[in-house]
């Protein structure tokens, strides 16, 4: 089923989400852990050459993926909250780690890069980051979380991960490199990882616009960024 993802990253909440449909990992197979915790989860990426309009995992109506009754505040509220949380960190020479070390299947490039992971696998902070805000209903009742990179060559830039995520760090939290921003939820439509803007709009929409399934320059940029960190995310098509 083609995904009709919202092209405007709309409203954000400043409280951590309770995702009733995502549940905990304890009832869905083996639990996985951060690398620092000594867990046994191993990343085995499977490269898939992405193609526009191709999506490996479809949303199943009725699947418990989040708060389907969530409503977004106006864009003006989003922008105000983002301004309050932004740090405007200075650029420096610090390095990043691959935030998607546990991906087991890479999917298409669109606004960002799509992928799937084992249940409960963490999406890691690539460096020190500040969690800016959470939107509870970005697509099919699934959330989106924004954060700001606090060091390195991309300091001050905003990234996001969306859709099949749970256990999201609270807005205002500063995470150190390697800590979990969120975890892969037991059900949903995979994740999308991409660049955003401080104005509550994805970089893809803000720069070139976006139509469903379209490969955007912002999405290509994110795939190249991940590959430069050793993610083995496949060709930047």
pLDDT value at residue 42: 53
Residue 20 pLDDT greater than 50, yes or no: no
Structure tokens of 4?
A: 């009709």
User: Where are the domains positioned within the chain?
Assistant: 45-54+63-228
Concatenated DSSP letters of the chain: ------SS----BSS----TTT--GGGSS-----GGGT-------------TT--SSPPPTT---S-TT--PPPHHHHHHHHHHH---PPP-S-----TTTT-SEEEEESSSEEEE--TTPEEEPSSSEEEEEEEEEEETTEEEEEEEE-SSTTTT-EEEEEESEESPPPTTPEEPTT-EEEEE-SSSS-EEEEEE-TTSSBHHHHHT---TT---HHHHHHHHHHHHTT-------
Tens of pLDDT, residue by residue over 92-113, are 999 999 999 999 999 999 999 9
- Hey, how many other C-beta atoms are within 10 angstroms of the C-beta on 48? 17
Report the distance separating Cα 140 and Cα 56, nearest Å.
16
Q: pTM for this one?
A: 0.69
Tens of pLDDT, residue by residue over 157-193, are 999 999 999 999 999 999 999 999 999 999 999 999 9
Residue 82 pLDDT greater than 70, yes or no: no
> Residue 74's pLDDT band (boundaries 50, 70, 90)?
low
Q: What proportion of the chain, given as a percentage, has pLDDT over 70? A: 62
Residue 47 pLDDT greater than 60, yes or no: no
Report the distance separating Cα 162 and Cα 165, nearest Å.
7
pLDDT value at residue 4: 43
More confidently predicted of 54 and 158: 158
Structure tokens of 51?
A: 């193609």
Tens of pLDDT, residue by residue over 55-68, are 334 333 344 344 44
Structure tokens of 101?
A: 């070390």
Please give the CATH superfamily to which domain 45-54+63-228 belongs: Glucose Permease (Domain IIA) (2.70.70.10)
């Amino acid at each position: 089923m083609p995904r009709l993802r919202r092209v405007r990253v709309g409203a954000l909440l400043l409280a951590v989400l309770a995702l009733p449909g995502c549940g905990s990992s304890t009832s869905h197979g083996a639990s996985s852990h951060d690398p620092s915790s000594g867990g046994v989860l191993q990343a085995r990426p499977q490269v898939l050459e992405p193609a526009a309009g191709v999506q490996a995992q479809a949303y199943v109506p009725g699947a418990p993926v989040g708060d389907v009754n969530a409503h977004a505040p106006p864009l003006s509220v989003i922008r105000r909250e983002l301004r309050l949380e932004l740090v405007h960190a200075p650029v420096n020479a610090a390095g990043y780690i691959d935030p998607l070390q546990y991906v087991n299947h890479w999917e298409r490039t669109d606004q960002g890069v799509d992928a799937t992971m084992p249940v409960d696998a963490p999406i890691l902070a690539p460096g020190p980051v500040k969690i800016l805000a959470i939107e509870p209903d970005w697509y099919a009742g699934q959330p989106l979380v924004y954060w700001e990179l606090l060091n390195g060559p991309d300091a001050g830039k905003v990234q996001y991960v969306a859709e099949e995520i749970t256990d999201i760090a609270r807005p205002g939290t500063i995470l150190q490199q390697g800590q979990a921003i969120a975890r892969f939820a037991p059900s949903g439509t995979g994740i999308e990882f991409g660049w955003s803007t401080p104005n509550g709009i994805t970089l893809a929409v803000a720069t070139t616009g976006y139509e469903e399934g379209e490969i955007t320059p912002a999405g290509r940029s994110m795939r190249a960024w991940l590959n430069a960190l050793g993610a083995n995310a496949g060709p930047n098509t």
